Amino acid sequence: MNLIEEIAGELCKILLPIEEEVFFGNPKSRIAICTLSSVELLKDISNSSLIKKIAIAGRLLSENKGIDSLVRYAISNENLSIIILCGKDTMGHKPGHSLLCLHKSGIDENHKIIGSLSPHPFLTVTKTEVSKFQRQVKIINKIGETNISNIKYITESQ
């Protein structure tokens, strides 16, 4: 990352603070929901009966640190086997797209997500961690879906 990008990132943190919101539900559930940048959808899920049927619901805003955290959480929770990827993808960073690329193709020798169109798709997770994630978790791609009723239907069919 160059100096201008680092400065811009720090300014964004100050001018546009983003709360890290994660809601925990049923620890025995095998389903997680990732709402990407859709804050209202995440709040709707946390305030609905759906939260009792899923292990965790959270957002994903970056194609690097966010995905690193998601992968590490998933492989540390052996019950977790399904991630419903929904909500609006973050413009520019496209973490949803990068997560799908990671799940399909993994990372190269430089830890870059293979096939990602994001500006900085470099992870700190290892190839072993990525392989475990790929084997353990099925991702249901519903990027763009923001209707909680449709998401409830998806969880009920799993």
List the domain range (segments joined by +) for residue 60. Answer: 20-156
- For 71, the 3-state DSSP assignment is helix
Domain assignment of residue 131, yes or no:
yes
Domain assignment of residue 139, yes or no:
yes
Domain assignment of residue 80, yes or no:
yes
Domain assignment of residue 2, yes or no:
no
**pLDDT band per the 50, 70, 90 thresholds, residue 17:** very low
The arithmetic mean of pLDDT across residues 110-138, rounded, is: 96
pTM above 0.75, yes or no: yes
Pick from 52, 43, 134: nearest CA to 87: 43
